[in-house]
Structure 1
Amino acid sequence: MRFISLVWFLSISSLGLAQEKEEAGGAAQANNPLANMTALNFHNYYMPKLNDAPNDAYLNTSWIRFAKPLSKGKLLLRVSVPLSTVAIPDDTRTVNAENGLGDINAFMSYNFISKPNATVGIGPMISAPTASADALGTGKWQAGLAFVAFVVKSPQFQLGGLITWQTSVGGDADRADTNNAAVQPFYFWQLGKGTYLRGAPIWYFDIENESYAVPIGLGIGKVIKVGNTVFNCFIEPQYSMLHKGTQPQLQLFTGINLQFVNP
């Protein structure tokens, strides 16, 4: 009888550890931008304070992002649609806010490394001059490259980064040329039961105008699976450590990511 009880206890413990490991792995993959799952993300950046701008100036950009794996996960297409508000006071201190669609961009990543503990991809990137007002976009077609990596150091820690570069290749001849790069490191620390600490600031470099912003972020998120859908909600304050030009000093990054798991 004692032997049966011992076997039962060990079996339940093993199942519990296996379930805990599976949940930790699922929470880790919820933040993998190259995960082999269709995803729909809703992100928002609220920027209440800008450097080298009047105190009443602010920006707000909401992003709708759709990612679709192709060719059994070897390719990943991601399309991003921005909806922006640009509010800059004029000479009379009146705040004129411009609202509307920004420049839509997309990239196609080829995942040349695709392992349970590491995913690495690279591919072309393009931006279209779809902005509904001059203040909301560049007026230029832009093309470049995107490189992304996600490394699972352990069920608790994940690291990675997204690097993009693009430059103008056509569009409105009266608008300024563009040449910019962005580096987005991301780091996640799983606390258990779907809760995690996170950081995913975007270091932006406007090479054409010699301006930049290098923020650091630390926030918290929660991953919940409902049926075949993984919900990942988060909030992340960010502060710019280094900056030059009119760039965000403070911003609040919030979002909800949805991943659709194949049944």
Structure 2
Amino acid sequence: MNSPAITRTGILAALAVSAPLSAAQNNAELAKSLSNPVAALISVPFQYNYDENIGPDDDGHRSTLNIQPVVPISISEDWNMISRTILPVISQSDVAPGAGSQSGLGDVVQSLFFSPKDPTASGWIWGVGPAFLLPTGSKDELTADKWGAGPTGVVLRQQGPWTYGGLFNHLVDVAGDDDRSDINSTFLQPFVSYTTPTAVSYTLNSETTLDWENDDSAVPINAIVSKVIPIAGHPYSFGGGLRYWAKSTDNGPEGLGLRLQVTALFPK
């Protein structure tokens, strides 16, 4: 028969093992939720991008910090509304001949997805809603100076460690400076991600922009590795990787670029 001391020792040992496992599982679930653009998870990503070989002489470069808060709001027993904001902070140099350097805010893209709280019977997760372009750019070189609007949507599936799907929006200008170029563009983002039990995610995506007004397009391909790490009891995701411009617009970036990202997570 086991003594009470041995029993207590066994219980404490079991708790010591199960607690780290539970924390690791929670971190892995958070990492997987980050692969879902309409997950019921408040997050604030800070995404840094560096691109070069910009302009007619390929001597321009640009740094962009995208601040991208994601806020899910329960609007009924069965539906969420997910607010996704992209606020770019830009620093660039020599992107146009004689233009010099500029730093400041770019134009905001605001999306609202209406998404069922539960996946479909076949396991698909989806959301649709409006997207808006807001001319918040602080300098002429950093803004389209147009108001835009259009539809946005996302569809994805999560099976085991895998997440795959796609996101899109289409924006058309509805007001703004008549002397600036009209906007009629489609954004397509197919993505696939694999998340390990240790909360490491390997993500491959493309962020294709189709400019129908000028019959042009840009196709950057991003390969990112990220990991959820708790700091002082609060979870963060840290990641980085490379982007390759498989196709670029006239005078757009070429070759390789860099992406780094830090995301603060606020699980319920």
Aligned partners of 2:261 and 2:140: how far apart in 1? Answer: 26
In structure 2, the partner of 1:151 is 157
State the AA in 2 paired with 1:231.
Y
Query: Which 10-residue stretch deviates more, 113-122 or 139-148?
Result: 113-122
Specify every segment of 5 or more residues in structure 2 that has no aligned partner in the other structure, as ranges.
none
Shift, 1:59, TM fit: 1.7
* 1:119 maps to 2:122: no
* 1:68 maps to 2:71: yes
In structure 2, the partner of 1:109 is 113
* 1:170 maps to 2:175: yes
Shift, 1:228, TM fit: 6.6
Instruction: Pick the aligned partner of 1:43 from 47, 66, 71.
Output: 47
Shift, 1:141, TM fit: 0.4
* 1:203 maps to 2:215: no
Cα distance change, pair 198–181 in 1 and its aligned pair in 2 (3 A): same
Instruction: Pick the aligned partner of 1:25 from 20, 29, 39.
Output: 29
Paired residues in the alignment total 254
* 1:132-147 equivalences in 2 (<5 Å): 132-147=138-153
Aligned partners of 1:232 and 1:102: how far apart in 2? Answer: 25
Cα distance change, pair 260–113 in 1 and its aligned pair in 2 (3 A): closer
Kept after mapping to 1: 8 A contact 2:27/2:228 = no
Instruction: Report Cα offsets for 1:201-226 as digits up to 9, x if no partner.
Output: 31111111111111222221111234
Specify every segment of 5 or more residues in structure 1 that has no aligned partner in the other structure, as ranges.
none
Kept after mapping to 2: 8 A contact 1:65/1:80 = yes
Q: What is the CA RMSD across the aligned residues, in angstroms? A: 3.0
Kept after mapping to 2: 8 A contact 1:84/1:101 = yes
State the AA in 2 paired with 1:53.
P
State the TM-score, normalized to the length of structure 1.
Answer: 0.84
Kept after mapping to 1: 8 A contact 2:220/2:246 = yes
DSSP 3-state at the match of 1:54? coil
Aligned partners of 1:188 and 1:62: how far apart in 2? Answer: 23
State the AA in 2 paired with 1:75.
M
State the TM-score, normalized to the length of structure 2.
Answer: 0.83
Cα distance change, pair 23–230 in 1 and its aligned pair in 2 (3 A): closer
Aligned partners of 1:227 and 1:144: how far apart in 2? Answer: 41
In structure 2, the partner of 1:257 is 263
Kept after mapping to 2: 8 A contact 1:49/1:251 = no
Kept after mapping to 2: 8 A contact 1:40/1:259 = yes
Instruction: Pick the aligned partner of 1:96 from 92, 100, 108.
Output: 100
Q: Percent identity?
A: 24
* 1:183 maps to 2:188: yes
In structure 2, the partner of 1:239 is 244
Aligned partners of 1:96 and 1:39: how far apart in 2? Answer: 35
DSSP 3-state at the match of 2:196? strand
Instruction: Report Cα offsets for 1:27-82 as digits up to 9, x if no partner.
Output: 211332211122211111110223x6313211221111112111256111122211
Instruction: Report Cα offsets for 1:72-109 as digits up to 9, x if no partner.
Output: 56111122211112322665xx6711111111121111
State the AA in 1 paired with 2:196.
L
Kept after mapping to 2: 8 A contact 1:39/1:66 = yes
